[in-house]
Amino acid sequence: EDQVTQSPEALRLQEGESSSLNCSYTVSGLRGLFWYRQDPGKGPEFLFTLYSAGEEKEKERLKATLTKKESFLHITAPKPEDSATYLCAVGTGNQFYFGTGTSLTVIP
């Protein structure tokens, strides 16, 4: 069965404490893996698309990596404004699967 699992469900970090969020997937025929940021009460904001194992993308304090089974979103020296829910999604030939997200809280 195709599925996408994110871990941990929730993460609390001190400001400046780097960490990683995980998105593992079991799907047939990966076409793309997507990371989004979602603030409370708002729609998801697109961050990255990764297409093949070994690919990496960076934006400010965020870096996304992809292997054949999982993706990591690395957060380096986070700030309180990085607090949000981070969603990953996987696209196959004809489906788009979302994980349930990791809620990140960065404490000043």
For another protein, the binding residues (CB under 8 A) are: 31-32, 34, 36, 41-46, 49, 87, 89, 91-96, 98-101
Q: Which is nearer to another protein, 78 or 99 (CB)?
A: 99
Six token digits for residue 90:
């996987």
The Cα 87–Cα 92 span in angstroms is 17
Count CA atoms within 13 Å of residue 50 on its CB side. Answer: 25
Q: Which is nearer to another protein, 32 or 83 (CB)?
A: 32
- Least CB distance from residue 91 to another protein, whole Å? 3
Q: Is the peptide bond before 108 cis (omega within 30 degrees of 0)?
A: no
Q: 29: closest CA among 60, 8, 51?
A: 51
- Least CB distance from residue 20 to another protein, whole Å? 20
Q: Which is nearer to another protein, 43 or 54 (CB)?
A: 43
Q: Which is nearer to another protein, 7 or 18 (CB)?
A: 7
- DSSP bridge partners of 102: 86
- Least CB distance from residue 30 to another protein, whole Å? 9
